[in-house]
Amino acid sequence: MSKNLNKNIIESLKSTIIIGFISISFILIVDKNLKDEIAINISEVNTQVEARIATYINNNLYKLESFNSYINYDIDKYGSENAKQIFVDTFNKSNVSNSFKGIGIINKAGYLNYGNGKIYVGNSNYFKESIKGKKYVSKPTKSIIDGKDSIIYSIPFIINDKIEGVLVGFSHYEGIALSLKQSIYSYKGSLYIVDKYGNVIIGNEKNKEGIKTLYNKSKYLDKGKEKKYISNCKNPKLGVFNNERIYLYYNYIENTDGWYLVSITPINKVFSSLTNIINISLLTIFIATLLYVINNYKKYVENKKALRKATYIDSLTNINNQIKFKIDCKKKLKNAQDDDKYVLVSIDINRLKFINDVFGYEEGDNLIKSIGEKLSILKFENIHGRISNDIFALMFKLDKKLDLKTTLVKLHDYINIVCSNNSDLNLKLNMGAYVIENTTEEIDKIIDNANIARLESKKIKDKPYYIYDEALKNRISQEIIIESELKKGLELGEFKVVYQPKVDIHNEKIVGAEALIRWNHNKKGFISPNVFIPIAEKNGNINLIGKWVLEEVCKDIKKCKLKGEKVVPISVNLSRVELYRADLIQSIKQTIERYDVEPKLIEIEITETAALNDIEYINNKIYQIKKLGIKVSMDDFGTGTSTLSNLKLIDIDILKLDRTMIIDLEEDKKTFLFVKTIIKLAKKFNFKVVCEGVENNKQVGILRQFNCDMIQGYVYFKPLEFLELKNILKEQYQ
């Protein structure tokens, strides 16, 4: 019995040992697999953070290069070296950049012009590197702007392909520091930026020396072997930091002077200790092994969920972010049936910045969260997400039984209930919809089209949505083409100036003319000013057009003077954009002086809308124009928010009534009385009065009765070529 007992004990012991061995082996295998998975996830997160920092740095360097290009453009355009300092001063005063607190230009001698003085920075690394033609990003340095830690970006300042100094930008230190606040694995790890010698550039101040020691004690790091060490840390390595075993991972950050992103993840915070398992009984080992596997798997799942949430879930609303939204949409469209039709809707909150400024960011965030919650409980199948700060997107299958317009209105009303909770907000949602006809279309293009429609909806007052259509597509395409070819058209001589005569209503002679621009495209033919002028105003090319028109007018006037021919005053239109040019007055003065044109032969026309937009500023501009000896007229009176009281606000010489004011002058009694009153009041203000768009002699007779001064319209002349205008003037005044 004793023998059998011993045998049973031995067999039991063997079984227990085998079970224990199998259990421990299983634990080790699972442990290894989990560590490998964690290592991969650490690598992915670290790479994402590095990419975000690198993109941030690259974007800032690119912005400096763009500023350099703008300055070159201003110098070429205005022919003045002062343009570069004007650009810098304007930028620093406006403070419109989210990237830079300020910018400056360092001359070759190493002096930086900033504010009202000069600062010598010739000994700085950023000056030394960039004056040699290199881009440079500094370590956090006390800023000369506000004394706070800043990152200084520098590039060679190039004028006409020559390095004339260094262009620097002082960036918010927080721009990079914020990226390091994201710790890996439920914020259990730490992120640092170090230089190639192990010095911490950005990160936890308490651990600076520890990081450097960890860096320098690496067995790979001997003199001249930094690159080998970094390559060996391409995958997470085990190490010891602050008496803890850790995962150590390095990433090189592009466009920096040897900066590396270091992540340190303590192992004991992502894995439970296996030490006690070895000391328990064989049976307990088996049970503990099972519990350990379950527990570790649970942690693995939790960490995987946490990582997935950080990658795919918007932190404010807890709905899909842009990445996950795109992935889900691609998957849904890929599996769509041939007859399935989907629509993607882009939604934003109008005036969110205003809400944040007036009611606080907490109110704005609560509003965004509320909309996210609304989208999450929609009763029909959909894919939704927050794809930008205040922009949400929604994709759903289009029900053949329901009208899309009706669906969009219901969707708007449903979401907008969130807005109605605070009556003071007075909110509006903008919605743009794009019907996906081709399910293989790129998701980015689909979202872009929905966003274009959303922006279009901001222009509409009678409905909260716009559905992307062929007309919008064609208009956008046309705008892109016109925008790209407008400047080239000026260079190729496709533009010309024609003149709309102004006729004295009493003697019916031409006493002036308005310069009008025409574009005859070499392929598209005539392009209406109503099409290309708004585009030029948006992209700034209106300044080129305005200068070109004034120059052409001055050339024509000079030709007449040289031949002793009759000359009448020519009026030139100024857009609202041109009125805000800092060099406007100087440019006008230089142009008329260049062609020896008397100021009395030039008139400037400003639209009523532009004039009333900023009365104090515009009156100051008018005063400066009139100081040159040039008369100023208010154009298109009657098309804006016209009231008779507006006439006393602007210091003009001439009032031009828009054609819409007199279109039924001879038929409508109210129009008759209204126009009569306006002209009578204008005369009391000593304004000359011009009526545009006069088309018949009956209107001429009435306006003559009202004592109107001049007429523009087809009743006398259509817009004329310069030669035609000269010939008519010759006939009338010979």
Q: Give the list of residues 6+ apart from residue 72 with CB closer than 8 angstroms, or none.
A: 158, 159, 160
pLDDT in tens, 338-369: 888 899 999 998 877 777 777 788 888 888 88
Is 471's pLDDT higher than 90?
no
CA angle 106, 108, 114 (to 5 degrees): 20
- What pLDDT does residue 48 have? 78
Q: What is the pLDDT of residue 504?
A: 95
Confidence at residue 560, expressed as pLDDT on a 0 to 100 scale? 93
- Residue 342, CA distances (Å) to 430, 433, 455, 468 in order: 20, 10, 21, 13
Average pLDDT, the chain: 80
Tracing tokens 């996906």 back to the chain, one arrives at 436
**Residues 161-183: what's their mean pLDDT?**
76
Return the HEC string of 43-100. HHHHHHHHHHHHHHHHHHHHHHHHHHHHHHHHHHHHCCCHHHHHHHHHHHHHCCCCCE
pLDDT at 227: 45
In this predicted structure, which of 142-146, 430-434, 442-446, 632-636 has the lowest mean pLDDT? 142-146
Residues 6+ apart with CB under 8 A from 75: 81, 83, 84, 159
pLDDT per residue as tens digits for the range 23-61:
667 666 766 666 677 677 777 777 777 778 888 888 888
Minimum mean pLDDT range among 64-68, 617-621, 643-647? 643-647
Q: Answer yes or no: is pLDDT of 639 > 60.
A: yes
Better-predicted residue by pLDDT, 77 or 713:
713
- Answer whether residue 571 shows pLDDT above 50: yes
- The tokens describing 29, both together, are 């295998």
Could you tell me the pLDDT band of residue 213, with boundaries at 50, 70 and 90? low
CA distance linking residue 235 with residue 39, whole number of Å? 7
Over residues 484-495, mean pLDDT: 86
How many CB atoms lie under 10 A from the CB of residue 67? 22
Rounded to 10 degrees, the C-alpha dihedral 540/546/548/550 comes to -160
Q: In the predicted model, what is the mean pLDDT of residues 2-20?
A: 52
Q: Nearest-5° angle of CA 515, CA 690, CA 713?
A: 65
Band of the pLDDT at 151, cuts 50, 70, 90? confident
List the one residue out of 375, 376, 378 whose CA is nearest residue 347.
Answer: 375
Amino acid at site 271 = F
Q: Which of the two residues, 620 and 54, has the higher pLDDT score?
A: 620
Please name the residue ranges forming H helices in 563-684.
Answer: 576-579, 584-594, 608-613, 615-627, 659-662, 669-684
pLDDT digits (tens, 9 = 90+) for 244-268: 777 777 778 877 777 888 877 776 6
Contact at 8 Å (CB) between 383 and 396? Answer: yes
Q: Which residue has the higher pLDDT, 449 or 85?
A: 449
* Torsion angle in degrees (nearest 10) through CA of 674, 679, 683, 688: 150
**The predicted structure's pLDDT at residue 138:** 85
pLDDT-derived band at 701, boundaries 50, 70, 90:
very high
Tell me the mean pLDDT in the region 652-668: 90
Percent of the chain topping pLDDT 90: 28
Cα dihedral 668/673/674/678 (nearest 10): 140
CA distance 673 to 680: 10
Cα 62 → chain centroid: 14
pLDDT at 208 over 80: no
Those residues whose C-beta lies under 8 Å from the C-beta of residue 415, and which sit 6 or more positions away, are 347, 371, 374, 375, 429
- Residue 187 pLDDT class (50, 70, 90 cuts): very low
Mean pLDDT (whole number) for 6-22: 56
264-279 confidence digits (pLDDT tens): 777 666 654 444 444 4
CA dihedral 155, 159, 161, 162 (to 10 degrees): -80
| pLDDT of residue 486 exceeding 60 | yes
What is the distance of C-alpha 219 from the center of its chain?
A: 47
Give the model's pLDDT for residue 42: 73
Q: Which residues contact 508 (CB under 8 A, 6 or more apart)?
A: 716
Residue 463: band (very low, low, confident or very high) from pLDDT cuts 50, 70, 90: confident
Count of other CB atoms within 10 angstroms of residue 655 = 24
Task: Return all residues near 127 (Cβ < 8 A) that are at least 6 apart.
Answer: 106, 110, 121, 154, 166
Question: In this structure, which amino acid lies at residue 233?
Answer: C
Q: Tokens standing for 681?
A: 């009041």
The pair of structure tokens assigned to 197 is 């010698």
Largest CA distance in the chain: 147
Nearest-angstrom CA–CA distance, 286 and 367: 53
In sequence order, which residues have a C-beta less than 8 Å from that of residue 340 and are 6 or more positions away?
397, 439
Place of tokens 């830690």: 149
How many Cβ atoms sit within 10 Å of the Cβ of residue 425? 19
- Of 409-418, 561-570, 713-722, give the lowest mean pLDDT range: 409-418
- Per-residue pLDDT band for 1 (boundaries 50, 70, 90) equals very low
Alpha helices in 79-202 (DSSP H): 82-94, 125-130, 174-177, 184-187
Select the more confidently predicted residue: 214 or 393: 393
Q: What is the DSSP string of 443-454?
A: HHHHHHHHHHHH
- For the segment 11-32, the average pLDDT, to the nearest whole number, is 62
In the chain, what are the domains?
34-280 (3.30.450.20), 322-468 (3.30.70.270), 478-718 (3.20.20.450)
The yes-or-no verdict on residue 718 having pLDDT over 80 is yes
* Pair of tokens at residue 496: 């010309």
Cα-flanking dihedrals φ and ψ of residue 615, to 5°? -60, -45
Q: Residues with Cβ < 8 Å from 14, sequence gap 6 or more?
A: none
pLDDT score of 516: 95
| Structure tokens belonging to residue 722 | 């310069």
Nearest Cα to 288, choosing from 303, 278, 302?
278
What values do phi and psi take at 366, rounded to 5? -60, -35
At residue 5, the pLDDT reads: 41
